[in-house]
Amino acid sequence: MQLRHHLANIYRLGIKELWSLARDPTMLVLIVYVFTVGVYTAATAMPETLHRVPIALVDEDDTPLSQRIVSAFYPPQFNTPELITMPQMDPAMDNGEYTFALYIPQGFQRDVLAGRAPEIQLNVDATRMSQAFTGSGAVQQIVQGEINEFVQRQRVGTVLPVDLALRARFNPALEKSWFGGLTQVINYIAMLSIVLTGAALIREREHGTIEHLLVMPVTPTEIMLSKIWSMGLVVLLASSLSLNIVVRGVIGAPVAGSPLLFFCGAALCLFATTSMGIFLATVARNMPQFGMLMLLVLLPLEVLSGGTTPRESMPELVRTLMLAAPTTHFVEIGQAILYRGAGIEVVWKPFLWLLLIGSVLFTLSLSRFRRTISQMA
């Protein structure tokens, strides 16, 4: 009977949290933006490979070899090359019109055939870092390949002693947007759960409604559990719609494993991150302080959890410390299920880690929450 009473209080308080969220247009806009525009732009707007790189060529030779080099640059890696003159090259690079400008001097083909090793100049706008670093090597390979094939007068494939068969597992087309979209859904689940629960508690404190709860026959545990289930439910529903509509529908990324198993892992992660959000809200005295604390926590959680950079590339100390973060194990669960189609027999260990970390964070947050409430009473 008493258990039913506690559950009823948790349910009613959770409904109150949902109504408070529904009356907050800023939070509603944030939820919609993060799981639609945020996921789509993160998946498509930051390509790590070359994509439509602006390039210009100064062809003073105008021979079959130079024309062959010009025609070797084509979409989607490069924009269609623009032929410019030598006086136009430096001003165009200064204005940021091109990432690469290739200069082919007069007599280039003649010197190549004569074996004189002529020079061509490649100007790179190094301020466009990802394109410049990746593209400069690609441009050199393309130019060198075209020169070698022209000198040999035919396209000759190098015969290797071993036939290397390349098979790209889990992403055969090597589509970066597939990885980016799913990774952002995973990151936003953790981020939004911390924001919503922490902001809900700060809002109650600033509006004075927390004092109303203190005079009601409810316990701190019921108040905290109500915030966890209500905000966790909102994030689960929003992320489910994002996964099916934005990632699967708009981006076209396939989901290899069971979405139900993934969202079970998401629920465990939400149990930990919502508890973390409440803990931060009890430390902060107002919303600006909460925002600053949230940044200090979210940046390591997103950057060092393995979603952006493989954990194997990190120092051993960082890898060990990040084992205490719930997002590390949630990223492992998400990548194993969504990318590789793993089942519970593969991901049961990170599930246990999330349960353990969530229980510790919930205990610490509850203790801090009780202390905060006792000071307000």
Report how far residue 332's alpha carbon sits from residue 156's, in angstroms, rounded to the nearest whole number.
44
Band (164; pLDDT cuts 50, 70, 90) = low
Degrees to nearest 5, angle at CA 255 with 251 and 258: 150
pLDDT, tens only, 226-254: 989 999 999 999 999 999 998 888 888 88
45-55, pLDDT tens digit by residue? 755 567 788 99
pLDDT over threshold 50, residue 147: yes
Show Cβ contacts of residue 287 under 8 Å, excluding neighbours closer than 6 positions: 199, 202, 203, 206
* 24: phi then psi, degrees, rounded to nearest 5: -110, 95
Set out the domains of the chain in order of their start, with CATH numbers.
2-46+174-376 (no CATH), 55-152 (3.40.1710.10)
> pLDDT band at 313, cuts 50/70/90?
confident
Residues 121 and 141: their CA atoms lie apart, in Å, by: 14
Q: How confident is the model at residue 356 (pLDDT cuts 50, 70, 90)?
A: very high
| Predicted TM-score of the model (pTM) | 0.76
Convert the pLDDT of each residue in 96-145 to its tens digit.
Answer: 899 999 999 999 988 888 888 888 899 998 887 777 777 888 898 899 88
Both tokens of 193, joined, read: 């759960």
pLDDT at 355: 94
